[in-house]
């Protein structure tokens, strides 16, 4: 797997605005994430973080501006194209199917990468089986890397919440993304689980040559993992910088304490 080039932006958000009726959820937001970066996207509730993820993954249309991925304008690509381009995400609420095994949940995460069509098993059963095997091997490799290998055959609903949060990341990786968008992956985890999650994410980033944009309210985790942080507040970019710069920025402190910047 080729390492991402840190001199090239993987994601560029240029002047993006989104309005829902009278609410401006995002207003002229610009930022970029360089190859291999683990960039934090933080801000108080309602700041616009999930809205930005929804724009990148095309769940929402932007009202203005442009979104570029690896230099290509993806502002108007079809929603189902996003994952094939190399962008995967996790959601605030777990999107795991409880009745399915861990491995089957993983396989669901890569169904779009299959080369065969719906009828392939009929006219090329050997080819379909070989593809099935390759997909399962890839999923098992990811599970092993994320220390979930033992659980491949377990029913997802039997697993603790902290494990399911890791499974969500594993499933997003099944699609072989270049850019991973994580929406509050540490929510609901104990402090110990949060730290273990951080270690796992750092390993996964190196192993799978990822660039990561991390939305997270757990500031300890963000400060520990991210080399750069973008702060949104009321739909606008409030600040951007290293963890140390963000931590001591009076505008950020005021936004989080509910005062005026
Ligand atoms: N589909 C929608 N329709 C109307 N308003 C929306 C919609 N999605 C988001 N909003 C509004 O946009 C603003 C930003 O919401 P968003 O969920 O992006 O914030 P957030 O930073 O992710 O917050 P949180 O940390 O609570 O998840 C809020 O005022 C929200 O109510």
pLDDT at position 128: 65
What residues contact residue 147 under an 8 Å CB cut-off, 6+ apart? 166, 200
pTM reported for the whole predicted model: 0.91
The answer, yes or no, to whether residue 260 has pLDDT greater than 50, is: no
Give the strands of the sheet with 64-69, arranged side by side: 23-34, 9-20, 64-69, 72-73
Percentage with pLDDT > 90 across the chain: 80
Average pLDDT score over residue span 138-146: 95
Greater confidence (233 vs 108) lies with: 233
Q: What residues does each domain of the chain span?
A: 1-86+177-260, 99-176
**Residue 233 backbone class (left: φ over 0; alpha: ψ -120 to 50; beta: rest):** beta
What residues contact residue 94 under an 8 Å CB cut-off, 6+ apart? 161, 164, 165, 168
pLDDT class of 206 with cuts at 50, 70, 90: very high
pLDDT at position 119: 59
Of 44, 50, 182, 255, best ligand 1 pocket probe by most atoms within 8 Å of the beta carbon: 50
Write the pLDDT tens digit of every residue in 185-198.
999 999 999 999 99
Q: How far is the CA of 183 from the centre of ligand 1 (A)?
A: 13
Average pLDDT score over residue span 193-217: 96
pLDDT class of 215 with cuts at 50, 70, 90: very high
Q: Are 51 and 234 in contact (CB under 8 A)?
A: no
The DSSP code for 210 is: -
Query: Token digits for 220?
Result: 């300890």
Write the pLDDT tens digit of every residue in 83-96.
999 999 998 777 78
Greater confidence (19 vs 91) lies with: 19
Number of Cβ within a 10 Å radius of residue 143 = 23
Sign of CA dihedral 203, 209, 211, 215: negative
Rounded distance between C-alpha atoms, residue 169 and residue 180, angstroms: 9
Identify each DSSP E strand in 2-49 by its residue range: 9-20, 23-34, 38-42
Rounded distance between C-alpha atoms, residue 161 and residue 166, angstroms: 9
Q: How far is the CA of 144 from the centre of ligand 1 (A)?
A: 35
Of 22, 25, 213, best ligand 1 pocket probe by most atoms within 8 Å of the beta carbon: 25
Q: How far is the CA of 126 from the centre of ligand 1 (A)?
A: 48
The CATH code that applies to domain 1-86+177-260 is 3.40.50.300
The DSSP code for 230 is: E
What is the atom index within ligand 1 of the atom nearest the CA of 51? 18
């Amino acid at each position: 797997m080729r390492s991402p080039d840190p001199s090239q932006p993987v994601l560029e958000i240029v002047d993006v605005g989104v309005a829902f009726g009278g609410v401006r959820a995002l207003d002229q937001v610009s930022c970029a994430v360089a190859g291999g970066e683990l960039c934090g996207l933080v801000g108080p509730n309602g700041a616009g973080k999930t809205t930005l993820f929804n724009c990148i993954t095309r769940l929402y249309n932007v009202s203005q501006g442009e979104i570029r991925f690896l230099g290509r304008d993806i502002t108007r690509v079809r929603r189902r194209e996003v994952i094939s381009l190399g962008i995967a995400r996790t959601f605030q609420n777990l999107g795991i199917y409880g009745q399915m095994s861990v491995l089957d949940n993983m396989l669901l995460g890569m169904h779009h990468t299959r080369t065969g069509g719906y009828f392939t098993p009929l006219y090329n059963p050997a080819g379909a089986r070989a593809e099935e095997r390759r997909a399962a091997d890839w999923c098992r490799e990811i599970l092993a890397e994320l220390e979930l290998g033992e659980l491949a055959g377990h029913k997802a609903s039997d697993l603790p919440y902290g494990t399911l949060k890791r499974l969500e990341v594993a499933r997003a990786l099944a699609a072989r993304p270049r850019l991973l968008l994580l929406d509050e992956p540490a929510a609901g985890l104990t402090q110990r689980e949060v730290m273990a999650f951080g270690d796992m994410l750092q390993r996964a980033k190196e192993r799978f040559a990822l660039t990561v944009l991390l939305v997270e309210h757990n500031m300890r985790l963000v400060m520990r993992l991210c080399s750069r942080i973008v702060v949104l507040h009321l739909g606008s970019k409030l600040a951007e910088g290293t963890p140390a710069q963000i931590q001591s920025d009076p505008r950020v402190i005021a936004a989080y304490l509910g005062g005026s910047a």
